[in-house]
Structure formats: C-alpha cells, structure tokens
Chains A and B, each alone.
Chain A
Amino acid sequence: MKNIFKNKIAIAVFIFPTLLIYTVVVFYPIVQTLIKSLYNWDGINLGEFVGLKHYIRLFTKDSVFKVSIVNGLLYPTITVLYQIGFGTVIALILSSKKIKGSRVFRSIYFIPSTLSTVIVCKLWLAMLASDSSNVGLINRIFMLLGINYSQNWLANGLSAIIVMAFLTAWQGIGNTILLIYTAVKSIPEQYYEAAMLDGATSFKAHRHITIPLLSETYKLLLILIISGGLRAFDHMYIMTGGGPGNATSTLTYMMYKSAYISGNFGYACSIAVTLVLECLIFTLIINRFVARERINF
C-alpha cells in the first residue's frame, strides 16, 4: 500500500479519471458559463461578443435583479431561522432520555422530507387557497376562529416569499433535526455528568456544552441551507411562477426565465455567474465566522 502512495504514476492513474470527470462536468461548464456571459447568445447560434454589457445591465438597469437579490436573502434567512432554531429545539428534546417514543417523533418529523417538492407545493396551494368559491384550510381556520386574517397569501410578494420559505423549511426540517440529533448523540455523556456535578441546569449544559460542540454541524447546515435558499427555484416555479409580476423572483428563477423563456442565454449566464459568486461569498463568510476555534465554550 505504501508503495502505491510513493508511486506518482499510480497516483496520477487513480486521480486522472476523477479529475477528467470533474473537469468535464463541473469545471468546463463553469468556464463556458463565464465565457458565454460576455456574449449575446441565443443558445443555438454563434454569439456576439459584448464584453461586460450583460453585467452592466444586470447591476444598473434590471429592476428584477434587485427584487431577486432581496428575495434571495430573505428566503434563506427565514429557512435558516426556522430550520436551525426549531430543528435544534426539537433535536434536543428528542435526544432527552425523559422523552418517550422519540423514535416515533423522529419519523414523524422526517415525513415531509420524503415528499416530493411538487406534492408539497400542490398540497400547500390547496391549503392556502383564498377564493370564496374554494377557501383553503389555513383561511378556513381563521374564519372558524372568527379572526379576520383570511387573505391570499401568494398575491403579495413579501407574504408569498415568507410562505414559500416556510414551506421549504417545513419540508427540510426533518433533515436538519436528523443531523443535529446525530451530532448531539455523539457528544460524550461525561461532559454533561461533569456539568451536572458542578450544579449546571439542563439549559445551561446545553448552552455551554451542546451548542458549542455543534458548531461544525451548524456550519454544514448553514452552508447547505443558505446555498439552497440562494438557489431557490422549484417552489417559485410551481407555486407562483415568479409572480405576481416578478415579486417572487430569485436569481435562479431569473436565470431560468432569461434562458428558457426569453431565449437570452448570454444574459442568463451572467446571472449564473453572479449567483455562483453570491454563494461563494456566503460560504466564505460562514467559514470565516462559524469556525470552531472562534466558538467560546
């Protein structure tokens, strides 16, 4: 085995297939996207080089871009708060020995994660329906309680984004709970026993032991949830079509529309590059500020 690691040719032979696949599947498309973002290109014919024109239009003229950026920030903010906040609380409760039937609850919380996004969207569309001829469950509950809060949740950009972010979080919380629960279970019992001997309450033990030791898990979750939120597309596509107007547009949806509806693939490439940069920035920020060595126990 040691000989293999010393043999550079053997290393190269083993690495080359993966490197080739990575280059063709990941690196090449990224470079192509970057190049094509500098062209007026319809996706079929040869493009015309326009330099940074698409980027100038994107950053200075396109009002949809601003809406998409705001939505792209709001969406992951809500999903992070909901998924990590509630996910942590539920995972901690489930990991407690005092809770009976935690296995059943774990399965129940995980059910939404097993459903397809289309099913979830259709389900919630029916529940959110607001027309007098077809009032959905949510508005009906308000009506039954006598609360004058029935509304069309998807008719307004802000409420629509909040609702869709909530749906995403609701659907994805099972995975979050599972990851946090597993991480909590991997913390040695002795830490808690020592804390209890020092007179710590259960809350204090979690505050000073569990949460700091979950930092790596949180980092992973933050990257997954935030990059997922920035790339949000399917809920908008199914539930609102990016509307009303462009009120629920995100960068991914904008990219899809530019390429596949407007036929402007060059512009779509410039949006894709911006999206990649945005995801990279957030990943760097998370890595910078949620590093384990920065967490105080």
Chain B
Amino acid sequence: MKKNLVRALGIAAVITLLLSACGGDTQNSTKPQSGGGTETGTGENVDTGEDVTLKLYANYSDDQEKDTLDRAIEEMKKEMPNVTVEIEPASQDDGQKLKTYAASGNLPDIFKSDGVDIETFNRSGSLVQLDEYAKEAGIVDDIADAYKDALYMPDGHIYAVPWQSPWVNSFYGNKKVFEENGVKIPQNYDEFLAAVKIFNEKGILPYALFGKEKQWCLHLYDIMVTRKAPDGIKGLDENSAKASDPDYLEAANKLIELVDAGLLSKDVFNTTYDQAKALFTSDKAAMFMTGTWALNGLEQEMGDNLVLMYYPLAPAGSEESAKWNMSGGYSQGGFSVPEYSKNKEIAAKYAVLLSRKVNDAFVALEGGSSIYKDAPKSEKELGPIMTRYIADTANFKSMSKFDWNLSNQELKTVMEDKTQELLTGSIKAEDFAKEIDAAIEETNNK
C-alpha cells in the first residue's frame, strides 16, 4: 500500500515538474492574436487595404466613455475604413484582467494603458514602439509643448499616445451651506481650520472625503504637501524627497490638526464616492474633493451653488504663490499595441490615430482643454466655472501626480495605508514619516 502511495505521489510530482517546466517563461509566451490582412514573412499583417478586425480594450462603461469612444471610432472609419474594432470594455479591477492577458501573452491588438502598465509590460520588450507612427500621424508636431513630455517613456520612446489634458485634484465648496451658516469661504489654512471648527459645531460635515478609496486620502495629503513642496507625492515616488522633510512633516501635522478639529466624517473610511458626493450635493457637507473631470457634472447639478476652490490650505500670506501648485497631473498612457499582435502595423497606426480622435471627441462632447494645438470646439455649452477652469489651466505652475500614476507600486500601497492611518488621528506625524521613509528606502534598495 505504501509503495503504491509513493508511486502515485511520484507520478504527481513528475507531472507537476513537467508542468512547471512548461509554465513560468512568460517572456516567451507571446502567442499571436486575431487574424486578418496579409501576412509578411515575419508573421505580421501590413495595411494592404483588406478588411481587418482589431480587438480594442478600452474604457467603455458609462455613457460619457461610450459616447466619446463611439464618436472617435466613427471618425476613424473615415481614416481607416477597412478596420473594424471589437470593443472589450475595460474592467474596474486594478488592471488585473490586463495583467492576466499580458502574463498569458493574450493582450488585445490595442489596449488602454497607463505609465505603470507600459513599464511592466515592456520589461520583456512586448510593446510596439510608436515613435514613427506618432511622427507620421503628426502627433509629435501637433501636441502642445506642455504635454510633449507625456508622450515619452523614460527610455525616450513612445509606447502610447495620451488623449486627455491633465486633470487635477480640486476642492469644491457648497456656497449655500457656507452662506446659510455664515462661514466665509476659506482662502488659506487658518481660515480653512476656522471653517472646519464652525461647521463641526453646527453639526455640518465640513469635508466629504470618500476615504474608502485610499488613494483619496493620499491625494488630500498631496494637496497639503504641494502648498509648500510642489512635487508632493511625486517627490516621494521619485525618491527626490523624504516624508520627514520639513514641508512634508508640516503637512502631516496640519492634517492631524484638521482631523482633530473634526474635518472628516466618522464613517470616512467606509464612505464611497457616491455617498460623499451625495452628502455634498444635498447640502449636508460644506466641501468635497475629487478630480476636475467631475467639475462639469457638478456644475450642471449644483449651478451657482458650486465653488471651485484652489486648495485653501496654504499659510496666510502665501496663498497666491502656492495657488498654482497643482495636485494631480498627467502621466504617460494611452493606447498601446503588443508586439505579438498579428495586425501589429495596422493596430499601431490605428492606436495612434484613435488616441487623437478620442481627445477630439472628448473635447467636443464634454468640454475641457485639448492636448493638441488645434483643438476642436466644444459642442457642449460649458458653465462659467468650467470655462474659468479651462482658462486657469494655462496658469498651472507645477503638477504632482495622481496616486494611480505613481511608478513605485509598493511605496504607493504603503503611502495609501499610512495616510489613511494618519487621517484617523491615531498616528503621530513623525511615525507616519518614519514608516514612509522606511518604505522608500526598502523599495528603492530592492
């Protein structure tokens, strides 16, 4: 009996080792995708005008995403009529589906990517360099100078063409709540702290933060830091700053002070975006924070009651100098093409042109500023606040990064966790800084 058991286990172990030998080499697991077009000697299809179907993995869930992409694809039919796209809506899953595709060598012909994805996927050289395609399509010449950097990855090549102008994090105020409670809309940190205390005394939530999404806790810290250190969390990500630097430490201490004064809801870490927004728009909260991509929608919903606040957290006297230190910003990203796509050339050409069409469609349908010099006119009537914001983008002096654009993923996770802990008020600023600095050291010495 024992012998049989040993034999069975032996067989199982052999099969396992055989399977282990088959797997693992993800670098070489680059299987080609859908067919179409004419094959060259290298197995790729070149654009011969034959009908080709490409798989496109893109944001295609809410109405705005669908309208924008549909419009862009319609426009693409004029440019490349022989190409049909099959859209696979991108999942809201921290990029897991895409990573699984990449790991198994099944990336779609064209997929939306961000800077972190590009670096990870391209470590084994599996993305098509789009330099020539972008040049040929006039992207390199037409893109506004301010955004040119966003085209190139650290190795100096283009792997995706961005389609949106940089958004930033922003504070929004509910004018009605401020007026009804006789509170002045704050311009600096002292006024902000005073407003928090008054609202708290009156039983109004001063600031609706959707802290269940930890990145927004980190964004709040970033906003506070960027009042004095413009790089904010970008500096920590790039190892050019430490959380124990005086400006960063001061920001952490101020956040603790605000939390102690009652800035946040008791349920802040269980609050979702929809809940926080509902509190703000239903006059239960005085202030709210989200990206400026939500500005147009908020303005339509709240009209004159909405106030766009440029981070009233700078020390009194330095409001103007810190006003245009923006939190958030652009990153590399757009549509990318895997090297192993059977329709590599067609897909690369399509991806580059589609990025621009998406930019144009977004500007036309939703408003906002274009990343290209020759922007189409917005078909949407923009409210005065959105119009002002677009004009203000020209004044932006510096940008940090959005949480999801940080390249050091492990550090990002630690920063998110620790900032959330900081906002509970249960950790000292010095301990917070110590933990972040330790993570910076650990992750950079890997």
By beta carbon, the residue of chain A nearest B123 is A45
Q: A197 at the A/B interface (Cβ < 8 Å)?
A: no
User: Is there contact, CB below 8 Å, between A44 and B26?
Assistant: yes
Interface residues of B in 1-26 (CB under 8 A from A): 8, 11-13, 15-17, 19-20, 23-26
The docked-state distance in angstroms from the alpha carbon of A144 to that of B301 is: 37
Q: Which residues of A contact B78 (CB under 8 A)?
A: none
By beta carbon, the residue of chain A nearest B98 is A44
Q: Which residues of B contact A43 (CB under 8 A)?
A: 99, 103
Given A31-B20, A44-B121, A130-B266, A246–B417 Cβ distance below 8 Å? yes
Partner of B417, one of A131, A132, A152, A245: A245
Q: A96 at the A/B interface (Cβ < 8 Å)?
A: no
The docked-state distance in angstroms from the alpha carbon of A43 to that of B19 is: 17
Q: A257 at the A/B interface (Cβ < 8 Å)?
A: yes
User: Is there contact, CB below 8 Å, between A45 and B96?
Assistant: no
| B side interface size, CB within 8 A | 51
Q: A116 at the A/B interface (Cβ < 8 Å)?
A: no
Q: Which residues of B contact A19 (CB under 8 A)?
A: 8, 11-12
| A side interface size, CB within 8 A | 45
Given A44-B102, A262-B413, A24–B19 Cβ distance below 8 Å? yes
Given A46-B26, A131-B265, A262–B12 Cβ distance below 8 Å? no
Main secondary structure of the interface of B (DSSP, over half): helix
Among A100-108, A220-228, A235-243, A270-278, the stretch in contact with B: A235-243
The docked-state distance in angstroms from the alpha carbon of A129 to that of B275 is: 12
By beta carbon, the residue of chain A nearest B122 is A45
Q: A93 at the A/B interface (Cβ < 8 Å)?
A: no
Q: A51 at the A/B interface (Cβ < 8 Å)?
A: no
Q: B442 at the A/B interface (Cβ < 8 Å)?
A: yes
Interface string of A122-142 (1 = CB under 8 A from B): 000100011111100000000
The docked-state distance in angstroms from the alpha carbon of A240 to that of B24 is: 34
The docked-state distance in angstroms from the alpha carbon of A229 to that of B401 is: 38
Interface string of A144-156 (1 = CB under 8 A from B): 0000000010110
Given A45-B123, A260-B96, A152–B266 Cβ distance below 8 Å? yes
Among B147-155, B163-171, B420-428, the stretch in contact with A: B420-428
The docked-state distance in angstroms from the alpha carbon of A42 to that of B124 is: 12
Q: A88 at the A/B interface (Cβ < 8 Å)?
A: no
Q: Which residues of A contact B270 (CB under 8 A)?
A: 125, 129, 154, 239-240
Q: A263 at the A/B interface (Cβ < 8 Å)?
A: yes
Partner of B279, one of A133, A246, A264: A133
Interface residues of A in 14-47 (CB under 8 A from B): 15, 19-20, 22-24, 27-28, 31-32, 35, 40, 42-46
Q: Which residues of B contact A63 (CB under 8 A)?
A: 435
Q: A85 at the A/B interface (Cβ < 8 Å)?
A: no
The docked-state distance in angstroms from the alpha carbon of A247 to that of B418 is: 10
User: Is there contact, CB below 8 Å, between B442 and A44?
Assistant: no
Interface string of A254-268 (1 = CB under 8 A from B): 000100111110000
Given A20-B15, A31-B16, A45-B26, A241–B269 Cβ distance below 8 Å? yes
User: Is there contact, CB below 8 Å, between A46 and B15?
Assistant: no
Q: A292 at the A/B interface (Cβ < 8 Å)?
A: no
The docked-state distance in angstroms from the alpha carbon of A132 to that of B435 is: 33
Given A129-B267, A131-B265, A244-B424, A23–B102 Cβ distance below 8 Å? no
- Please list 12 pairs of residues, one from A and one from B, whose beta carbons are closer than 8 Å in the complex, sorted by A's number: A19-B12, A20-B15, A28-B20, A63-B435, A125-B270, A132-B205, A132-B266, A244-B423, A260-B94, A261-B94, A261-B409, A263-B116
Other CB < 8 Å A-B pairs besides A44-B123, A45-B27, 14 of them? Answer: A23-B16, A27-B16, A32-B20, A46-B24, A46-B25, A61-B442, A132-B203, A134-B267, A241-B214, A243-B420, A244-B421, A244-B424, A245-B418, A264-B410
Query: B-side interface residues toward A, CB under 8 Å?
Result: 8, 11-13, 15-17, 19-20, 23-27, 94, 96, 99, 102-103, 116, 120-121, 123-124, 203, 205, 212, 214, 265-267, 269-270, 279, 284-285, 409-410, 412-413, 417-418, 420-421, 423-424, 426-427, 435, 442, 446
